[in-house]
């Protein structure tokens, strides 16, 4: 006997064909027939099951993104990271990742923290003993402003501004693949000075979340303390 759907040779008494059809030999004269209704039901069931699995995976992914975003704005989910050279308060879901390499920079890359919705990069330049004796914060602020007058970064006009203990600039930057659903990052580049070192802390967020996250970005930066 052969399956009249796929043509495979069937053994006597075989109830199922390899193509998935159910064999029915109870017809008139023992002739072979196929239960096509049963086969169709299995196909429909498999399609529905596949759709459900895809929908569940998508829901888990979206829920994860929403959860990560909420932790950025929920201050009860923040924690203070105390390191050898500094401390800073960040969302608990921001994990340490590969350090961003600033090629050609004199600064030492310390740490990079990342979540699905933000990146915080910390760098440092230790002062020499001579620099420690002659450096005053007021003088540093004036020098910084002289080095970075009103100009452009990536075609965006920037001007150094003071906020608390920091001096910072902000600008957009192409960042394809870094944040889901966004190809551009908004960068807040903040600088701090202590008696021992100069620190640069860069925060990257999706540009379309600038207004939503800006308050929290400055809260993270305000918490920064260099040793």
Mind spelling out the 3-state secondary structure of the chain? CECCCCCCECCCCCCECCCCCEEECCCHHHCCEEEHHHHHHHHHHHHHHHHHHHHHHHHHHHHHHHHHHHHHHCHHHEEEEECCCEEEEEECCCEECCCCCCCCCCCEEEEEEECCCCEEEEEEEECCHHHHHHCCHHHHHHHHHHHCCCEEECCEEECCEEECCEEEEEEEEEEEEEECCEEEEEEEEEEEECCCEEEEEEEEEEHHHHHHHHHHHHHHHHCCEEC
What digits encode the pLDDT tens for the residues 9-68? Answer: 777 766 667 666 666 554 434 444 445 555 556 666 666 766 655 655 444 444 444 444
Domain definitions of the chain by residue range: 1-73, 76-226
Lowest model confidence (mean pLDDT) among 96-105, 116-125, 187-196: 96-105
What digits encode the pLDDT tens for the residues 57-110? Answer: 444 444 444 444 566 889 999 999 999 999 999 999 899 988 777 676 788 999
CATH of domain 76-226: 3.40.1000.10
What digits encode the pLDDT tens for the residues 139-186? Answer: 666 766 666 666 778 788 888 888 888 889 999 999 888 888 788 999
């Amino acid at each position: 006997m052969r399956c009249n759907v796929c043509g495979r040779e069937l053994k006597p008494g075989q109830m199922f064909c390899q193509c998935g059809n159910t064999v029915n030999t109870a017809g008139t004269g023992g002739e072979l027939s196929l239960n096509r209704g049963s086969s169709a039901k299995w196909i429909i069931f498999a399609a529905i099951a596949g759709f459900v699995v895809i929908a569940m995976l998508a829901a888990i992914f979206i829920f994860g993104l929403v959860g990560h975003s909420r932790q950025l704005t929920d201050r009860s989910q923040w924690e203070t990271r105390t390191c050898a050279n500094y401390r800073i308060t960040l969302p608990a879901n921001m994990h340490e990742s590969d350090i961003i390499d600033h090629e050609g920079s004199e600064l030492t890359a310390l740490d990079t923290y990342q979540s699905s919705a933000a990146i915080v990069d910390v760098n440092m330049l230790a002062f020499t003993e001579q620099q420690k004796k002659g450096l005053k914060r007021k003088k540093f602020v004036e020098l910084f402003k002289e080095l970075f007058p009103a100009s452009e970064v990536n075609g965006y006009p920037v001007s150094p501004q003071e906020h608390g203990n920091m001096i910072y600039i902000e600008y957009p930057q192409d960042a394809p693949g870094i944040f889901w659903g966004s190809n551009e990052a908004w960068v807040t580049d903040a600088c701090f000075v202590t008696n021992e070192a100069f620190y640069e802390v860069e925060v990257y967020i999706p540009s379309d979340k600038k207004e939503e996250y800006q308050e929290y970005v400055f809260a993270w930066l305000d918490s920064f303390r260099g040793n």
